Amino acid sequence: MTSIDELILRSTNPFDNYRSVNFWDQQQATEPTVTSIHKDAIASIEAILEQVALDHRTRTVRLEGDPGSGKTFLLGRLKRNLNSKAFFAYIPPFPQSDEIWRHILRYTVNSLLEVPHQQQDSQLLLWLKSLSVFKQRSFGKGLRQNSVWDWLKSDRQRFIRNLKETYQRAPIYNADTFFSLLHDLTDPKLYPLACEWLKGDDLSEESLEQLGLRHSIESEEAAYEILANFGRISIATQPIVLCFDQLESIACLPDGSLNLQALFNANTRIHDENHNFLIIISIIINTWKQNEHRLEQSHKDRIDQHLSLRPITIKQAQSIWATRLFPLHNRAQYQPTSVIYPLKRQYLEAELPSGKTNPRNALLIGRDIFQQYKQWLAKESKGIFQPTYRPEQHKNERSELLATFKLNWVEELRKVQARITNIRQLSSPELIRMLQDALVALQVEGIETPFLTKTKYSSYSLGYQLPSQTGKLGVIWTEDLNMNSFFNVMNACQKKVQNQTDTILQLIRSEGVGKASNKGHKLYEKIFTGSAHCHLIPSLDSVHYLGTYHNLVKDAREGDLLVGSETVGLKGLQALIRESQILENCQLLQDLGIFVGQQAREDTKDLSNQEQDQASEDSQDELLSVKDYLLNLVQTNRLMGRQVLVQNLCSQFTQVQSSQAEQLIEQLFEEKQISILNPKEQLEAQLVCFVKTSS
């Protein structure tokens, strides 16, 4: 084993990666937690949840705190601690106020599809099996309670009939359809389709036929009623917890202010009309203060309790440090005398004269002092280490800030790639909002939302202008499978081009455009064949890029985006994304003509040659990305163990072998971008450091 100081020299900074996200993204994470932090808030919410479980009356909690106070992390703790007592749903910001019920339903069902820790079934199946109808013994002679589930699911009509009889006092919306969908959840072949219907996807005619249904959820009111059905029949089950987070990115009013009224309208309706829900609304303190006067008193009265996250103490900050340093200590030959070595309590006392801080600031202080200590060790300094960290004075060099941002991007991109495996996981309004964020960052002119007006598909569209184009460019993004819906979208497009002849439409769609005999297909051919209008087929990779940037935008708006030791706001993020040129790798943005000289791919090349050229190009780009990541990692850490560097590279890029990583290190060494302090030592003992250029 190795000494603790040798491990510190070789390690990455254990205080990096302090971003909390949608708690289902952390399903496999083992994030260190200090249980004493915000324990009063946890206890209060647990007590409220127990009340809901007893009397089934829906309640609302407003959870407020400053940026960095740990609101999103707290929601994750609640899910981890209480998932055995409730079903949890994480609801991200809604992009359109007039489609808020569709949004809430989509993400409630999406969350119910998640499998809780140490369970085999999804929350949705656990909820279904826990309904009172499956606990009754009166359905058949000799039936044991455990076999009621199998007995009922074996016969579709019997299943529907018994659910209708059991819940006849509950005002179930479209009872036959809803209970039929619940039965489909018991069939592994129909389960995916039933889930898509329940979350509001506009299914194809073929899929609807498989489910025995005539249409998908067609309106906001229908979306609300389906959501309400979950509460209406779940009196005998555990409560459903709806967690609303990152409200700085919800849809805005015409004056640019947040449309919190839309959210609290929804809260009031769930609160007053539905049973067995606990609603948690996580909000920044200043955001609440600035918008409270806009809300009607009747909606504020539906908040049963408000909890404010308090600052943490120096002792709690020490505990945060200890959780981050424990893995390093655990690998040392001899355990340090202090659980926060190489840090000390007096460092916190010097930085925090009030004795109070927030969790994120505690991590930032630890991060910078750890980095200083590492550099002090590398210089083989004599005497006693003294940190010089001052948060208000500290600024990363621009090159280091950019390098750190690129590392953050890769880590966030990996999470998005793991979560989004199909473009249709996202609704059209969400896809358009993601595209809009990217266009704003790239300083595209004349952005207009919506572009299509006076149609239910307005939220599927946006417009923009390019210097090279005289007219307006319109984008319509639809992945709806239903061909009737596709026809309606095409009809709206036709009206637009008839009324504005200088408009060029760009249809973004990865799904098919129907059979030649379909009315929608015929209209599609009329608009997009032999004209300036075009159909772009987006790749999943492009959606990953847009989704990654969109997530960072949400963090920036909340004041929660950290790059190194700096909190970066929205304008700072936009500057970084332009400077890094990361979005230039997004093929869809290239196809939209956003980057000068990069238009849509040519169709004139021989297809096989084009595919070969593209594969070779992709491979080359991937290698450059890996090399860039490696250099950024060394630059931000200044000094690292060679073996640790290889391990980090291979964990982020699973297709890269350790031998390839070693070759890239050698290349950077030959290019004099990095140096090896002790090249004569064995590889596991070698230290790699960044070479700062004079430029």
What is residue 598's predicted lDDT score, i.e. its pLDDT?
A: 47
Buried-exposed string 73-103: b where 16+ CB fall within 10 A, e elsewhere: bbbbbbbbebbeebbbbbbbbbbbbebbbbb
Domain assignment present for 5? no
What residues contact residue 654 under an 8 Å CB cut-off, 6+ apart?
Answer: none
Q: What is the per-residue pLDDT across 349-398, written as a single tens digit (0 to 9) for each?
A: 999 999 999 999 999 999 999 999 999 998 888 889 999 865 544 556 88
Average pLDDT of span 233-253: 92
What is residue 154's predicted lDDT score, i.e. its pLDDT?
A: 79
What is residue 683's predicted lDDT score, i.e. its pLDDT?
A: 86
Of 253, 283, 310, which residue sits at a domain end?
Answer: 310
Phi–psi pair at 82, nearest 5 degrees: -115, 10
Q: CA 637, CA 674: separation in Å to the nearest integer?
A: 12
Domain assignment present for 23? no
pTM for the model stands at 0.92
Whether the CB-CB separation of 524 and 513 falls below 8 Å is answered with yes
Q: What is the per-residue pLDDT across 461-510, written as a single tens digit (0 to 9) for each?
A: 999 999 888 889 999 999 999 999 999 999 999 999 998 888 999 999 99
Q: What mean pLDDT is reported for the chain? A: 90
Phi–psi pair at 259, nearest 5 degrees: -90, 65
Domain assignment present for 126? no
Label residue 691 by pLDDT band (50, 70, 90): confident
Phi–psi pair at 177, nearest 5 degrees: -65, -45
- Which of 26, 5, 8, 6 is CA-nearest to residue 17? 26
- Residues 283, 323: one domain? no
Helices (H), 352-449: 359-378, 398-419, 428-441
What is residue 26's predicted lDDT score, i.e. its pLDDT?
A: 63
CB count in 10 Å sphere of residue 629: 22
Of 295, 310, 325, which residue sits at a domain end?
Answer: 310
- Residues 77, 190: one domain? no
Domain assignment present for 122? no
CB count in 10 Å sphere of residue 569: 13
- Residues 261, 322: one domain? no
Average pLDDT of span 227-246: 91
- State the pairing for strand pair 312-313/305-308: unpaired
What is residue 601's predicted lDDT score, i.e. its pLDDT?
A: 41
- Residues 452, 538: one domain? yes
Per-residue pLDDT for 28 more than 60?
no
- Residues 554, 462: one domain? yes
- State the pairing for strand pair 240-244/305-308: unpaired
Average pLDDT of span 142-167: 74
For tokens 């009013």, the residue is: 253
- Residues 491, 526: one domain? yes
How far, CA to CA in Å, does 249 sit from each of 178, 243, 246? 32, 15, 6
- Residues 306, 327: one domain? no
Lowest mean pLDDT among 111-120, 299-308, 615-624: 615-624
Lowest mean pLDDT among 149-163, 178-192, 624-638: 149-163
- Residues 446, 554: one domain? yes
Domain assignment present for 292? yes
- Which of 98, 60, 92 is CA-nearest to residue 223? 98
Of 552, 575, 601, which residue sits at a domain end?
Answer: 601
What residues contact residue 473 under an 8 Å CB cut-off, 6+ apart?
Answer: 463, 464, 465, 466, 503, 504, 506, 592, 593
Q: What is the per-residue pLDDT across 39-87, written as a single tens digit (0 to 9) for each?
A: 999 999 999 999 999 999 999 999 999 999 999 999 999 999 999 999 9
How many structural domains is the chain composed of?
Answer: 5
Whether the CB-CB separation of 582 and 409 falls below 8 Å is answered with yes
CATH of the domain at 264: 3.40.50.300
Structure tokens at 319: 């505990």
Per-residue pLDDT for 313 more than 90?
yes
Domain assignment present for 86? yes
What is residue 33's predicted lDDT score, i.e. its pLDDT?
A: 84
Structure tokens at 599: 């238009």
- Residues 532, 592: one domain? yes
Q: What is the per-residue pLDDT across 88-121, written as a single tens digit (0 to 9) for each?
A: 999 999 999 999 999 999 999 999 999 998 899 9
- Residues 178, 46: one domain? no
Whether the CB-CB separation of 358 and 312 falls below 8 Å is answered with yes
| Length of the chain in terms of residues written | 695
Domain assignment present for 322? yes
Helix (H) or strand (E) holding 357, with range, is: strand 356-357
Q: CA 458, CA 173: separation in Å to the nearest integer?
A: 28
Q: What is the per-residue pLDDT across 569-609, written as a single tens digit (0 to 9) for each?
A: 999 999 999 999 999 999 999 999 998 754 444 333 344 45
| Structural domain of 652 | 618-695
Average pLDDT of span 240-258: 95
- Residues 300, 333: one domain? no
What is residue 306's predicted lDDT score, i.e. its pLDDT?
A: 96
More confident position, 28 or 301: 301
Per-residue pLDDT for 233 more than 90?
no
pLDDT > 70 fraction of the chain, expressed in percent and rounded: 91
Tell me, letter by letter, the H, E, C secondary structure of 134-197: HHCCCCCCCCCHHHHHHHHHCCHHHHHHHHHHHCCCCCCCCHHHHHHHHHHCCCCCCHHHHHHH
- Residues 247, 359: one domain? no
CB count in 10 Å sphere of residue 470: 8
Whether the CB-CB separation of 109 and 195 falls below 8 Å is answered with yes
What is residue 180's predicted lDDT score, i.e. its pLDDT?
A: 94
How far, CA to CA in Å, does 370 sit from each of 16, 156, 313? 11, 62, 20
Q: What is the per-residue pLDDT across 251-298, written as a single tens digit (0 to 9) for each?
A: 999 999 999 999 999 999 999 999 999 999 999 999 999 999 999 999
Q: What sign does the dihedral 519-523-525-528 (CA atoms) show?
A: negative
Average pLDDT of span 395-411: 89
For tokens 């993204």, the residue is: 25
